[in-house]
Structure formats: structure tokens, C-alpha cells
Structure 1
Amino acid sequence: MKYLCPCENHFRMMLFFAASNATKNRKRPVVFLQHGFIGSSAVWLMNPPSQSAGFVFADAGFDVWMGNTRGNTYSHKHNSLTRNDWAYWNFTYVSYYDLEAMIDKVLNVTRQTHVHYVAHSEGCILMLAKLSIDPTFSSKVRKFFALGPMTSMEHVRGIVPFFANNFGQLIKVRSYVTTRMPVYLTHLPGGTSTANLVHWAQLTTTGRLRMYDFGSEHANMQRYGTVS
């Protein structure tokens, strides 16, 4: 089942919902799964049922909700802009609206007061950034499970030596579950904005989680009321 979630910024995010038939007649705890960088909700369902978090949580008796960040395969609708408009892509992972809008939609539909939030990579940053801006949002999150959280890329070193030393192993067919590769490549990458890519790159120099740097003190002051 899918739900279109409107936001104050006029984007409309797509939420997917799954529940176990075994517990359909009683109130279930809610788990919200948020994908990582250039992913989509599909990442929680791409493996066999026993190895996919979406199915595992549903079979364990949870209401499973899966979010999609704006601009990806599923969350591409906007009230007035299209993908051909520059303004459509003028966003990064730090949003004042998206995560709250999605979780509020889930709580409204399920009539629950909180969710269990499970996230990977960028999905963790979404929650950390939201909580840093609005600590009261924590009342809507019973537990936060962060898989591979990252708030800085300061210690990342050049990727060339890594590939030079490991490329041979990476391309060996036996290194992959070959039966699943067509599934993975059908759904990934899920899409994002260039500004989001740049924001991630900025983490290599800032040393901490911070808002997007527009490149000048004047531009930052106009947007945030501070130079950095």
C-alpha cells in the first residue's frame, strides 16, 4: 500500500506500507524505515523475505512504513515544479519539512504517538539534523536505530588507492549474489540532487554536521541568518 505525503515545501513524498496478516486485527507497533544516500524504500525489500528488513519487521508484527527522500524514484512529485526545473533540484539532505511530514503522516494514519525509527547512512543524518533543529521532535520517536550513521567525512582518504588495491576482488563474479544483481540494479541508484552530492562533499572539510554552505558569507547570511 502506498501513501502520498504532502509537505510545506510543496514536494509530495511517497510512503510505502506493509503489515503482517497474522496481526491485522490488533494494534501494532510502528517501525519507520528510512533509506540512505541515493537509495529508495526498495532497499528494505530487495533481498529474499527472510533477509529483507521490511518483511522481517512485518512478520514480527510491526506496521512497516518506508520513506522516500525527495527527488528519488518514488518521491518525485511537486505541486508546481517538474524535474526539468532548476528550482526542483535545489535541495540537500537537511530539510526542515520532509522527515517530520512523513512521520506525522504515519502517526496520523496509524493513530499512534511514536515510531521506531530505523535508518541507514543519510537516513540517520535526516533524523540527527531534525533533532538538532527541533529537539521536541524526539517525542515522536520511541527508539532510533542508526545503521552506518555518519556526520563527518573528515577522515575519508582518497578512493583511488582503495580501488587500486581491491578492484580485482570487487569485479569477481563470486563476490556478488548474482541472482539478486538484476533486482539491485533495477532500483538503485534511486536519485538525488547535485546540491545533495555537494553537501556530502562538504562534510570532508567541515569535520562536523552542518547546513549546506552556499559558498559565500553573504549567501549563507541571507539563507540562515549566520555566515556559516
Structure 2
Amino acid sequence: MPLICGGSLGLTAWSSSLCVLIVLVLLVEPHLVHSSSRGSFGANKFAVSPPTDGICASSVIVHGYKCQELEVTTQDGYILSVQRIPEGRSGVGAGNKQPVLIQHGVLVDGLTWLLNPPEQDLPLILADNGFDVWIVNTRGTRFSRRHTSMDPSQPSFWNWSWDELVTYDLPAVFDFVYKQTGQKVDYVGHSLGTLIVLASLSEGKLVDQLKSAALLSPIAYLNHMNTALGVVAAKSFVGEITTLFGLAEFNPKGLPVANFLKSLCAYPGVDCYDLLTALTGKNCCLNSSTVSLFLLNEPQSTSTKNLVHLAQTVRDRVLEKYNYGRPDYNLMHYGEAYPPAYNLSNIPHDLPLFLSYGGQDALSDTRDVGLLLDALKFHDVDKLSVQFVKDYGHADFIIGVNAKDVVYKSVVSFFQHHS
């Protein structure tokens, strides 16, 4: 039976933070412990190197699609990499196509949507169905590591959490796409990509530019996120995460994290051979060669502060801005002793929303999705579509071999219905 990462076992606040940190790291980097990347997924059959020339060249143009590498600068100076796929492989249907923006989750980048064969990849499926596709890469990931005045070697470059993705990144990209196309934008988010759009909408952002949103494996509440390694991780270290890894870049491929994971795997009864299953729930539909590509290309860096903020969401069981830990610090940043909450009931009730979640997802737990749906209980009935996929885990939504038929077909139909 899975152990619970959070307050239900009486863990201390910072033990809980460590717990969620390990969940997020191990989710995308199991080969830190076993470099062979084998386990239940099979051997790495690919000798492909991670892209150096950009996502378009490595993963889109090679399949016969047009693709543009673009840059978007946020109001706080971060230069984001964005890929545009303006049409399908056939090139049929020129004219004003409906733009759709695709946002990945934490510790990965936009390439994570393009690891299966082209007929199974969501961005290319959308392009073939007549959409103008835009893929976003969050600040700090490999192609979004530039700033107008700072460098990634400076701690100040990493002084942000998902609050800044809400305030700066999403609005900047939405503004850019809206100005380029002159049309309202459809949106697809996975995991953290769902959290930041929900939080943005709750603050009145994006509402004039967003046409509809598809939320895959939605994250808003993390009260029931579970992992078989959670309690072991919580007991392994005492103290703040920041004392372990610093308040700057959190690099999952760095030695401090690798050594931390190896120490956890030394615990009796901890199976580090099939960590993806242990941490996301049972993913029903992953191809071994795709998982090998995933492990070759991911994970990506994020800020330690971002992971701390996610840990706070688990610990405090509420959706709110980053907590600076002391009332006087919060007062300095927010004008009040406690961080302001994101009120999801403020999301416009007439905005078309599609939610798809899995019965085996240990990160987007069905009970937490239930809490999200409760927050949306006043949403217009004809504007809220919900899909439950009994066998799906967290990773199935982005690299599942049958996601085209199980989920993506419904996403396309949803967007077309609300066009």
C-alpha cells in the first residue's frame, strides 16, 4: 500500500517538503540510480543525442512539418524558447488557423511532447487537424536559459517559483501568440502546466486571450499525492531543502541529487529499479524505446524555489503564493503576514474547460481532482467536459502509445466543438 506524502502521517513541515521534492526528481530521473535505464521498460535502444540545434530541427522538421524557432521575452527579462508548427504535414488549408499553445510540466521541456512517432505526438496531431501549434519551454530549461541582464550562473537568475510562471511566462507567451495571430488561443497543459493556467485565470489573467483550455493530468491540489518512497525520503534528512541544494538552480543531473537518491535506495525494502511506476502510479501504455528517449533528453533544471513552492502546496493543503516562512518576510512581499491564496472560483464560469485524469495517477490523485472539480462546481455545465481514464498514470498523458485514441482525439474534438 502506498505511503502518503503529506500531513496525514504526521510528518514535519520540512520533511513533507523533502518528500515532494524526491517525488518530483525521481519521477523524471530514475536512471540517476541505475544508469542502464533498463528495468521494466527495456534497454535504451537509441543512440540519439539530445538536440543541440533546437526542437524544430531534431523532432519536427525531420518528420516533414514546417517549424519555426522563436523567442519571447517576459516582463522580468527571461527569454523563452517557443516552437511554432504553423500547419500539418500535408500543408493543406492555408489561412487563419486556430492557434493552440502547449505547456509542459515541471523538470521537463517542450520536447517531452515529441518523443513518440509523429502520428502519436499531440503537437503534430493538432497540426494535422488544422491547428497553428505553439510549444512553450519554461524558464530554466535547456533552450530557455537566457535573460536580458542575468546569467544562469548567478543565483538571482533562479529566484523564482511557479508564481512567476503565472505572473510573467504565460502572459508573455499568450500576448505574443495573440499579437502574431490576431486570434484567441486554445491551451493544452500537463501537470504543472495545468496549475499555472488555473492560477493565472483565478487572478483575471489571460481571460481576454484564452478561448478554451484542455487540462491533462490536472494539478491544483496535492493533498493526496502518494509515493512508495515518501516516508523514507522524509526520514533521511532533517532541515530545509534549501540547506541541501541551495536557493539557486536545481539540476537533477547534478551530483548532490544523484548522491541523495543513491542513499535512499540503500534503505531495506526500497525498490529503485522501477521508479517511474513507483512514483507516478502504474503507467499502462508506455513504449520502452520512448521511455529510453525520455530518459536521454530529460530532466531539465528548475529553480529550487519552485520545488519548495510545490512542496508547500503539499504541506499546507492550499493553493497560495510562495510562503517566505516568516510573517515579516511575507509582509514585505505581499503586505500581509500570510501568502495570498489563488481562488479558483474566480475562473470565468463560461470558459470552456476539458479535464482528463487517470485512475492510476499517483501525482494527480483522483481525490485531488475531485477537489478541483468541487472548486469548479459553479462552472457552466455545457462548458466543462471531464474525462476519466481508469488505467492511465501520470506519464501516459504525454508519451502513452495509445494516448492518440484515448485522450488526444477527445482534445481535438473539444477544441473543434468550441471553435
Is TM > 0.5 for Structure 1 vs Structure 2? yes
Query: Hey, what does 1:104 align to over in structure 2?
Result: 175
Matched, 1:63 2:128: no
Q: Deviations over 1:151-192 (max 9, x none)?
A: 2222234532799587666589xx952322342123211221
Query: Hey, what does 1:120 align to over in structure 2?
Result: 190
User: What stretches of structure 1 of length at least 5 have no aligned partner?
Assistant: none
Decide whether aligned partners of structure 1 residues 225 and 23 sit closer, same or farther in structure 2, where only a CA change above 3 A counts: farther
State the 1:142 CA deviation: 0.9
Decide whether aligned partners of structure 1 residues 199 and 50 sit closer, same or farther in structure 2, where only a CA change above 3 A counts: same
Query: Hey, what does 1:185 align to over in structure 2?
Result: 295
Matched, 1:194 2:304: yes
Equivalent residue runs for 1:48-197 within 5 Å? 48-95=117-164, 96-112=167-183, 114-133=184-203, 135=204, 137-160=206-229, 177-197=287-307
CA distance, structure 1, for counterparts of residue 124 and residue 91 of structure 2: 13
Choose the corresponding residue for 2:331, options 205, 221, 228. Answer: 221
Aligned residues: 224
User: What stretches of structure 2 of length at least 5 have no aligned partner?
Assistant: 1-67, 232-264, 278-284, 339-419
Decide whether aligned partners of structure 1 residues 218 and 178 sit closer, same or farther in structure 2, where only a CA change above 3 A counts: same
- Residue type matched to 1:128 in 2? L
CA distance, structure 2, for counterparts of residue 124 and residue 159 of structure 1: 25
State the 1:128 CA deviation: 1.1
Query: Hey, what does 2:70 align to over in structure 1?
Result: 3
Question: Does structure 2 conserve the Cα–Cα contact (< 8 Å) formed by 1:22 and 1:61?
Answer: no
Moved more, 5-14 or 162-171: 162-171
CA distance, structure 1, for counterparts of residue 292 and residue 274 of structure 2: 20
Question: Does structure 1 conserve the Cα–Cα contact (< 8 Å) formed by 2:171 and 2:205?
Answer: no
Matched, 1:211 2:321: yes
State the 1:30 CA deviation: 0.8
Percent identity, aligned pairs only, is: 29
- Residue type matched to 2:79 in 1? R
Q: Deviations over 1:113-150 (max 9, x none)?
A: x11100000011111111122x2522211111111111
CA distance, structure 1, for counterparts of residue 155 and residue 137 of structure 2: 21
- Residue type matched to 2:215 in 1? A
CA distance, structure 1, for counterparts of residue 122 and residue 139 of structure 2: 22
CA distance, structure 2, for counterparts of residue 65 and residue 142 of structure 1: 15
